[in-house]
Amino acid sequence: MIESITGDFIKKTTRSLKRGKQVHRRLPEGGLLYIDRPLPFLILFRHPAGQPDHATANFLKAFASYIISHEERTEELRPLVQSIAQAMAGKFGAFMVIELMAAPTPDAPLFKVLGPEEQLPTTTQTLEQELQSIKLTGIPTSVEVASNAPLLQEPHCLLPEEQLKKYSILMLGLQLKPIYKNADGTVYPLLLRALRQKLTNALMKTVFNFVSVQTTHKPVHFQALGRQAVNRVAWRIDRQLASISDQFRFLLLVTPVNNNEAWEEFRKAKYSKAPTFHYRLMPIDADQLKRKLYNIPIEKVDDPTLGYLFRDKRHELDKMITMLSDRNTPDFLYSSMQLYGTVDDQLLKVAEGILAAVPAPEQSIKTEFMPVPEFVAQAEQEIAFLREQYPALDSGVDVRDDVVGLIVSKGRLNVGTDAKIPRHRAQALIQHEIGTHVLTYFNGKAQPLQQLYVGSPGYEELQEGLAVLSEWLVGGLDQARMRTLAARVVAVYHLTKGCSFTDNFRRLKEEYHFDDEAAWNVAMRVHRGGGLTKDAVYLRGLVHLLAYLKAGNELEPLLIGKIRQDYIPIVQELIYRRVLRPMPLRPRYLLDPQLQPKLEQLKAGISVFNLL
pLDDT tens-digit profile of 521-579? Answer: 999 999 999 999 999 999 999 999 999 999 999 999 999 999 998 899 999 999 999 99
- Residue 456 shares a structural domain with residue 605: yes
- With CA atoms as reference, report the closest residue to 404 among 256, 505, 254: 256
What was the pLDDT predicted at 119?
66
Is 234 part of a structural domain of the chain?
no
What was the pLDDT predicted at 364?
57
Which of 185, 201, 229 marks a domain boundary? 229
Is 493 part of a structural domain of the chain?
yes
As a whole number of angstroms, the distance between CA 176 and CA 201 comes to 15
Terminal Cα-to-Cα distance of the chain (whole angstroms)? 67
Is 591 part of a structural domain of the chain?
yes
Contact between residue 585 and residue 442 where contact means Cβ atoms under 8 Å apart: yes
What was the pLDDT predicted at 118?
72
- β-strand pairing of 41-47 with 95-102: parallel
As a whole number of angstroms, the distance between CA 414 and CA 437 comes to 12
Residue pLDDT, tens place only, 134-153: 999 999 999 999 999 999 99
As a whole number of angstroms, the distance between CA 275 and CA 523 comes to 11
- Residue 223 shares a structural domain with residue 363: no
What was the pLDDT predicted at 1?
64
- Residue 48 shares a structural domain with residue 136: yes
- Residue 458 shares a structural domain with residue 380: yes
- Residue 565 shares a structural domain with residue 459: yes
- Residue 514 shares a structural domain with residue 558: yes
- Residue 189 shares a structural domain with residue 255: no
Is 305 part of a structural domain of the chain?
no
pLDDT < 70 regions, the chain? 1, 119-120, 363-365
- Residue 340 shares a structural domain with residue 224: no
Residues ≥6 apart with Cβ < 8 Å to 339? 316, 319, 320, 323
What was the pLDDT predicted at 16?
96
What domain range includes position 65? Answer: 7-229
Is 510 part of a structural domain of the chain?
yes
CATH code, domain with 199: 3.40.630
As a whole number of angstroms, the distance between CA 547 and CA 339 comes to 23
What was the pLDDT predicted at 120?
64
Amino acid identity at 400: R
* Local structure of residue 60 (DSSP, 8 states): G
- Residue 85 shares a structural domain with residue 189: yes
Other C-beta atoms closer than 10 Å to the C-beta of 52 total: 14
As a whole number of angstroms, the distance between CA 319 and CA 309 comes to 16
What was the pLDDT predicted at 431?
97
Is 528 part of a structural domain of the chain?
yes
Is 581 part of a structural domain of the chain?
yes
Which of 194, 229, 264 marks a domain boundary? 229
**Numbers of helices and strands, H then E, in the chain:** 25, 13
Task: Estimate to the nearest angstrom the gap between the alpha carbon of 269 and the chain centroid.
Answer: 47
Class of residue 139 by CB neighbours under 10 A (exposed 0-12, middle 13-18, buried 19+): middle
- Residue 207 shares a structural domain with residue 267: no
Is 148 part of a structural domain of the chain?
yes
- Residue 81 shares a structural domain with residue 138: yes
Tally of domains in the chain: 2
- Residue 275 shares a structural domain with residue 366: yes
As a whole number of angstroms, the distance between CA 128 and CA 140 comes to 15
